[in-house]
C-alpha cells in the first residue's frame, strides 16, 4: 500500500485527483464550464494571470455551452436543417477535432449526441428513463457524418432538423490547453490546472519531482483514489460512470451514451483515464475509449503516439496500455496484463 505522507494533502477532489503537498499557495477556483475549475500558479500566482485564465475559460464556455443561452453552439443547433452558421475559430477548431475523433473511433465518440443527452437529461435537474420509442426516434439524428464544416468560411451546418451538437466530451480538454497557452505566455514555471477532474500539470514540482495525480476510485466517494500516475508537463483525463448519473428502479444510468443504441454504455468498464500531452486529445480519447470498450479502445490508444490509458473494470481489475506511469495504491484492485 502506497502511503501518502501525513503532511501531504489531497487537493481538488473531483474526478481525477491531484495528490500533492500543500506549499502554502492555495489554488483559486471558480464554477465555470459546468464544473469547479481550480488553478494553482504557486509562487508566481499573480492575480492578473489567474484572471486571464478564468476569463478565457468563461469565454470558451460562453461559446460552446449547450446549457447557457445565446452561445454559438446553441445557434448552430437552432439552425440545424436550415442553414450554415459562421462561428469563432475556437468553436470551429473544437468541432473539427470532435469530428476527427468521431472518425478515429468509428463513431463511438459522436458530438451529435445532443438529442440523446437532452432526452436522458443526465446531469440536469430532471433526468429520466426514456422509452424505447423515444430513443429510436432520435437515433437517426445522431450521426457525425451529417455535420458539414466549411474551413474557408468557418461555418458549421447540421444537415437534419432536430440535430444538436454537444461538446461536453471535449470542450474541457480544449479549455485546459488554452489555460496552458496562457501559462506559457506569462512564463509561469509550474502550475496545476484542474477543470473538474480534467487535469493538466505544467512543469514539475519545486523539488524537481513529478506531480502525482490520483485516479479516482469509481466505486467510492469522491476523493478516494485507486492509484496515482506520476507526470510532468502532461494531462490526465478520466471518463467514468461516477461522474454524472441518476438512479431509477434500482438501476444506475450514467452520462456516456452509445450513439449505436442510445443507452448509457455498458461494457464492464467503470472508467478510462488517458495520459498524454494535449488535454483536448485526452478528453476526446477517454470518452472514445470508454464507449469503444477495452479491446477496441486499447487498439485506438495504441494506434496513437505518446498516449497511455488506465482501464478500470467493474470486477475491480485494471488494465494498462502504453506509458501511464500508473502506481496502484488500493489493493482491493488488481492489475491484469491481458
Ligand atoms: P466525458 O465526461 O468527457 O466522457 O464526456 C461525457 C459527456 O459528453 C456527456 O455528459 C455528454 O454531454 C457527452 N457525451 C455522451 N456520450 C457521448 C459520446 N458517445 N460521444 C461524445 N460525447 C458524448
Ligand atoms: Mg471526454
Cell 474526478 belongs to residue: 15
The pLDDT, as a whole number, for residue 337 is 87
**Cβ–ligand 1 contact at 123 (below 6 Å):** yes
| CATH superfamily of the domain spanning 67-158 | ApbE-like superfamily (1.10.3980.10)
**Cβ–ligand 1 contact at 97 (below 6 Å):** no
Exposure string over 84-117, b if 16+ CB within 10 A, otherwise e: bbebeebbbebbebbbebbebbebbbbbbbbbbb
**Cβ–ligand 1 contact at 66 (below 6 Å):** no
Q: Report the chain's mean pLDDT, rounded to a whole number.
A: 92
How far is 277 from 85, CA to CA, in rounded Å? 32
The pLDDT, as a whole number, for residue 239 is 96
Among all ligands shown, which has an atom nearest to the Cα of 112? 1
Contacts of 63 (CB under 8 A, 6+ apart): 71, 72, 73, 87, 88, 90, 91
How far is 52 from 172, CA to CA, in rounded Å? 17
Closest Cα to atom 6, ligand 1: which residue? 169
Provide the residue-wise pLDDT of the chain in tens; the chain has 338 residues.
333 332 233 333 334 556 655 567 889 999 999 999 999 999 989 999 999 999 999 999 999 999 899 999 999 999 999 999 999 999 999 999 999 999 999 999 999 999 999 999 987 889 999 999 999 999 999 999 999 999 999 999 999 999 999 999 999 999 999 999 999 999 999 999 999 989 999 998 889 999 999 999 999 866 799 999 999 999 999 999 888 888 888 888 999 999 999 999 999 999 999 999 999 999 999 999 999 999 999 999 999 999 999 999 999 999 999 989 999 999 999 999 87
The pLDDT, as a whole number, for residue 167 is 97
Three-state SS string over the chain comes to: CCCCCCCCEEEEECCCEEEECCCCCCCEEEEECCEEEEEECHHHCCHHHHHHHHHHHHHHHHHHCCCCCCCHHHHHHHCCCCCCEECCHHHHHHHHHHHHHHHHCCCCCCCCCHHHHHHHCCCCCCCCCCCHHHHHHHHHHCCHHHEEEECCCCEEEECCCCCCCCCCCCHHHHHHHHHHHHHHHCCCCCEEEEECCEEEEECCCCCCCCEEEEEECCCCCCCCEEEEEEECCCEEEEEECCCCEEEECCEEEECCECCCCCCECCCCEEEEEEEECCHHHHHHHHHHHHHHCHHHHHHHHHCCCCCEEEEEECCCEEEEECCCCEEECCCCCEEECC
**Cβ–ligand 1 contact at 15 (below 6 Å):** no
How far is 18 from 201, CA to CA, in rounded Å? 9
Output the nine-digit C-alpha cell for 57: 475559460
Q: Which ligand 1 atom is the nearest neighbour of the CA of 287?
A: 4
Q: Where are the domains of the chain?
A: 67-158
The pLDDT, as a whole number, for residue 17 is 59
CB 80 within 8 A of CB 142: no
Q: Which residues surround ligand 2, an ion (CB under 5 A)?
A: 169, 283, 286-287
- Give the global pTM: 0.93
Amino acid at each position: 500500500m502506497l502511503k501518502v505522507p501525513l503532511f501531504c494533502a489531497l487537493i481538488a477532489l473531483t474526478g481525477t485527483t491531484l495528490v500533492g503537498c500543500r506549499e502554502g499557495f492555495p489554488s483559486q477556483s471558480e464554477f465555470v464550464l459546468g464544473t469547479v475549475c481550480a488553478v494553482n500558479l504557486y509562487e508566481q500566482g499573480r492575480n492578473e494571470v489567474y484572471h486571464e485564465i478564468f476569463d478565457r475559460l468563461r469565454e470558451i464556455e460562453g461559446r460552446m455551452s449547450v446549457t447557457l443561452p445565446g452561445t454559438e453552439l446553441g445557434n448552430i443547433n437552432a439552425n440545424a436543417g436550415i442553414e450554415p452558421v459562421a462561428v469563432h475559430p475556437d468553436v470551429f477548431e473544437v468541432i473539427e477535432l470532435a469530428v476527427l475523433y468521431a472518425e478515429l473511433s468509428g463513431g463511438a465518440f459522436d458530438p451529435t449526441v445532443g438529442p440523446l443527452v437532452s432526452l436522458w437529461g443526465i446531469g440536469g435537474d430532471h433526468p429520466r428513463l426514456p422509452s424505447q420509442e423515444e430513443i429510436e426516434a432520435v437515433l437517426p439524428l445522431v450521426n457525425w457524418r451529417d455535420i458539414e464544416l466549411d474551413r474557408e468560411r468557418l461555418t458549421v451546418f447540421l444537415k437534419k432538423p432536430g440535430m444538436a451538437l454537444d461538446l461536453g466530451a471535449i470542450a474541457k480538454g480544449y479549455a485546459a490547453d488554452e489555460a496552458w497557452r496562457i501559462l506559457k505566455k506569462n512564463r509561469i514555471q509550474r502550475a496545476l490546472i484542474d477543470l473538474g477532474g480534467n487535469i493538466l500539470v505544467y512543469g514539475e514540482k519545486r523539488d524537481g519531482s513529478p506531480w502525482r495525480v490520483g485516479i479516482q476510485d469509481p466505486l467510492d466517494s469522491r476523493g478516494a483514489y485507486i492509484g496515482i500516475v506520476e507526470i510532468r508537463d502532461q494531462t490526465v483525463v478520466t471518463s467514468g460512470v461516477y461522474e454524472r448519473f441518476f438512479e431509477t428502479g434500482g438501476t444506475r444510468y450514467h452520462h456516456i451514451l452509445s450513439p449505436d443504441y442510445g443507452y448509457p454504455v455498458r461494457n464492464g468498464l467503470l472508467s478510462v483515464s488517458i495520459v498524454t500531452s494535449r488535454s483536448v486529445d485526452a478528453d476526446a480519447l477517454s470518452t472514445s475509449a470508454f464507449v469503444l470498450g477495452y479491446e477496441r479502445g486499447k487498439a485506438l490508444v495504441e494506434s496513437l503516439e505518446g498516449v497511455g490509458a488506465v482501464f478500470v473494470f467493474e470486477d475491480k481489475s485494471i488494465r494498462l496500455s502504453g506509458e501511464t506511469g500508473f502506481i496502484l495504491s488500493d489493493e482491493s484492485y488488481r492489475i491484469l496484463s491481458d
